[in-house]
Chains A and B, each alone.
Chain A
């Protein structure tokens, strides 16, 4: 399955989401390949530094891809942005599509107001995933984000949430 991770606005976390997805899908036991077709090349450099090896027979190929390179051959498109920049984006691909709204405000009163706007976007996508502002991700550590764990499950066909909020009770790692 070809998965394109894209978005027009820079700095919203496309590369981070693409890499997180790569890591989680591998942890879930899938064979995953990665292609960096972005302008910044950050993911490619990161993967070379950690010794990532290409997989010749992957279940998933994750592309970190700029919008102008999206060619319609993908099976799934993941649009990554932040809510204030959603107006800069287009999502008219004829594929399955997921919206990832990254760095959601940590202030509950503002978040609840923003949810009203997010609700209007939900019918436009197969899934909408809201990722909270997360200090681990901000510092480049690709761990401890249950909303992105759930995104990985959706991509793998193990979940089909229409809307994923930051508060997720059934964290997969939890054992009480």
Chain B
């Protein structure tokens, strides 16, 4: 990470020229406002740092998108998922979940349990819970940028899915991004949509029916973006 290019009133702008996301997050979490500029090859780390900062209450912008934090909407009652076990291996900053969502520990998985990290091939609990619920194992992880588009690697198969979703850490709301193009092993999305509400780098692809299944079954909401972000996306003038 470069030395902050300037600071004023606890704001810092950072060029993400490193893949050490945890170190960057530790340095930035005490700032009031953070602007992140990814290099084409550090998209994943930028989304992880941006998501972790927003969920920590740090107003964050990626590449000129409007600042935002992630609203902290915590469940009032526990969401128990006894059929799910998790291999705890938080490799990325946003691979965590609020304690109000209860999954078992996968050290000694019970027979028939869906193990996040085994049956779902990464140890991200948020998308793992979606995968369990939707009975699918495909995920997309964003890795790099190509001009105004962000490119995600597909692990699995994209069929009729039109959107990518990633829950917040409280599993009450989500970021939704429309797939622009899907090829065999990669998808592209508009980077501005991805940067308006960063919550991490891993997403689950869904079709319209699956979206409603998740919202109803897991009791979640899809609240889109702030008005500033909608204006930024250029759709509302």
The residues of A with any CB-CB pair to B shorter than 8 Å are 106-109, 111-113, 115-116, 119, 132-136, 138-139, 141, 143-146, 163, 165-171, 173-176
Contact = CB atoms under 8 A, between A and B. Distances in A.
Nearest to B227: A165
B236 A116 contact: yes
Interface of B: 56-57, 68-69, 71-76, 163, 172, 176-178, 193, 197, 208, 211-212, 214-227, 229-230, 233, 235-236
B221 A133 contact: yes
Contacts of A141: 219
Contacts, number: 107
B224 A132 contact: yes
A146 B221 CA distance: 10
Contacts of A136: 219, 221
A136 B220 CA distance: 7
Contact of A108 (B208, B219, B225): B225
Residue from A108, A119, A139, A146 whose CB has the most chain B CB atoms within 10 Å:
A108
B23 to A, nearest CB: 22
B208 A107 contact: yes
B28 to A, nearest CB: 15
A135 B215 contact: yes
Given A107-B211, A113-B235, A169 B224 contact: no
B221 A112 contact: no
